[in-house]
């Protein structure tokens, strides 16, 4: 099975089931004969724009086009550990394995002052459209992503 087929099945499962954690998804994929690691799933989630949302009093995974920004923000803030900057980029530290989802969330907001994001396992680099915008972006990122 290739990557595109696996990702199609992941999207199908996410749409058809209330999946609360990656272990549940791994089990459903295994029933279909697909063995994946947590790292592969995290990469697939980032590429597919899969995020965690509140729905009916529970947390579940959803495709980003199904999301409601107001329900995602509180979840993202639980995944962010810190926000810092230097003269050229903003660095967002996350819980392990959560950087892809946080970067996807930032990208979905479409802030004009952000040129783009790059996610690792627990770090997101936010590149501003101009270094002059870093102080404003840093303030926005802290307000948006850190728990109040």
How far is it, in rounded angstroms, from Cα 50 to Cα 95? 17
* Partners of 126 in the β-ladder: 90, 117
- Residue-wise pLDDT for 62-99, tens only, equals 887 544 444 445 567 788 999 999 999 999 999 888 88
133: DSSP letter: G
**Element containing residue 94 per DSSP (H, E):** strand 90-94
Token look-up 């997101």 returns 124
From residue 125, give the alpha-carbon distance in Å to each of 67, 82, 117: 23, 12, 6
| Domains defined for the chain, CATH in brackets | 3-66 (1.10.10.10), 70-145 (3.30.1360.40)
Collapse the DSSP code of 103 into the 3-class scheme (helix H, G, I; strand E, B; otherwise coil) and give the result. Answer: helix
E strands along 14-71, which residues?
A: 50-55, 58-63
Q: Over the stretch 127-146, which tens digit does the pLDDT of each residue have?
A: 999 999 999 999 989 988 88
C-alpha–C-alpha distance, residues 95 and 114, integer Å: 22
Identify the pLDDT of residue 5: 86
């Amino acid at each position: 099975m290739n990557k595109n087929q696996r990702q199609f099945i992941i999207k199908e499962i996410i749409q058809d089931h209330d999946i609360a954690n990656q272990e549940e998804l791994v089990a459903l994929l295994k029933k279909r004969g697909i063995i994946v690691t947590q790292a592969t799933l995290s990469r697939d989630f980032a590429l597919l724009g899969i995020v965690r949302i509140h729905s009916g009093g529970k947390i579940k995974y959803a495709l980003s086009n199904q999301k409601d920004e107001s329900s995602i923000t509180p979840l993202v803030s639980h995944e962010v550990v810190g926000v810092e900057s230097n003269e050229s980029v903003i660095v967002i530290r996350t819980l392990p394995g959560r950087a892809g989802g946080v970067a996807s969330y930032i990208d979905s907001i479409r802030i004009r002052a952000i040129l783009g994001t790059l996610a690792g396992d627990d770090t997101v680099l936010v590149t501003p459209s101009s270094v002059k915008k870093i102080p404003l972006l840093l303030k926005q990122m802290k307000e948006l992503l850190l728990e109040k």
